[in-house]
Amino acid sequence: MDVIYQKILVTGGSGFLGKVVVKKLQQRGCRDVIAPRSTDYDLREKNDIIRLFQHARPDCVIHLAAVVGGIGANMKNPGSFFYDNAIMGIQLMEVARQFNVQKFVAIGTICAYPKYTPVPFKEEEIWNGYPEETNAPYGLAKKMMLVQSQAYRKQYGFNSIYLLPVNLYGPGDNFDLESSHVIPALVRKCIEAKEKNQKEIIVWGDGSPTREFLYVDDAAEGIALATEGYDSSEPVNLGSGQEISIRNLATMIAECTGYQGSLVFDSSRPNGQPRRALDVKKARQMFGFQAKVALKAGIERTVAWFIANRPHLDGSSSSLAAGSAR
């Protein structure tokens, strides 16, 4: 797909990832990018979706909007996380089909993988077990778009693709400790502990789980490349290929923030999935994507952004139906 001549609707286009995706499309010469606000269109309501499509008449939809959060937020809101994400994806793709959209780019989540998927996670393993319990409702809701994509391609010839990004981070992330993911949460904790001369900070879990992280600019580039050059409903991972334990991650963040106190791991808190790391060969083979930003460099940029923007952060960056994506 030549994005220059397309009208592209980016749900969640004003969110963390969405802003960067919109920028990437514009850098490619796309002059007609629509990024609706949740205050104007609630994507959980089908009538709002229809009204949006009647107004925008998009050629392509990139669906980034989601209700998201870390382990705590997932455990506190399993019902709403399941319903809101499932209903958005199902209705958006159906309305896109009815409006003869040329391409639908569905953004899934690594949380869709089974709890004990062999590392590195290969796309063909996605149905071989139940997801990790703390975020299974969210992961399964997003996974339904994969089912829908494949079913619609088979029955209607509808061109949709499904991407599985690993945990994202970077400038502009959500630093609200009630709903943030691990990197922004630890960045904020370390900086505030340093300012207050606190001797220790608490880290959830025992530090043993591993994770893989993808810098937001890299993720946006992968989505743009797939939009341009991938046309199959078989899922594709988007990741960096670098696995790190939470203990080593916390140590790295403490170093990047200059925090010299102790890291205390609270094993009474849930660890989440034991290991997460993706096989990223398919994205490179199918549409030439390879992550460029190393984890430490990305964390340093994230720390610098947070310090520079703290006066403007209100701590209320919770996810809304049309305004945020991770």
- Band of the pLDDT at 178, cuts 50, 70, 90? confident
Residue 146: burial class (beta carbons within 10 Å; 0-12, 13-18, 19+): buried
Tens digits of per-residue pLDDT, 39-71?
A: 999 999 999 999 999 999 999 999 999 988 888
Rounded to 10 degrees, the C-alpha dihedral 42/217/112/116 comes to -160
Percent of the chain residues topping a pLDDT of 70: 95
Tens digits of per-residue pLDDT, 23-46?
A: 999 999 998 999 999 999 999 999
C-alpha distance from residue 150 to each of 132, 140, 154, 253 (Å): 24, 16, 6, 40
Q: Mean pLDDT throughout 228-247?
A: 97
What pairing do the DSSP bridges indicate for beta strands 262-266 and 236-238?
A: unpaired
pLDDT higher than 50, residue 176: yes
Tens digits of per-residue pLDDT, 2-13?
A: 888 899 999 999
Distance CA 321, CA 60 (A): 19
DSSP per-residue codes, 24-92: HHHHTT--EEE---TTT--TTSHHHHHHHHHHH--SEEEE-------HHHHHH-HHHHHHHHHHHHHHH
For residue 278, the SS3 value is strand
What is the residue whose two structure tokens read 């050059």? 229
- Band of the pLDDT at 209, cuts 50, 70, 90? very high
For the chain, domains (ranges, CATH) are 3-173+215-241+276-292 (3.40.50.720)
- Band of the pLDDT at 323, cuts 50, 70, 90? very low
Instruction: State the CB neighbour count (10 A cutoff) for residue 309.
Output: 12
Identify the DSSP state of 123. G
- Residues annotated catalytic, as ranges: 138
* Lowest-pLDDT range of 9-13, 23-27, 242-246, 320-324: 320-324
Q: Mean pLDDT throughout 154-174?
A: 97
- Mark out the alpha helices in 62-181 (DSSP H runs): 71-76, 78-98, 136-156
Instruction: Tell me the pLDDT of the chain averaged across its residues.
Output: 93
Over its C-alpha atoms, the chain yields an Rg (Å, rounded) of: 19
CB contact at 8 A, 169 and 288: no
Query: What pLDDT is stored for residue 180 in this prediction?
Result: 87
Instruction: State the CB neighbour count (10 A cutoff) for residue 260.
Output: 11
Cis geometry, peptide bond prior to residue 78 (ω within 30 degrees of 0)? no
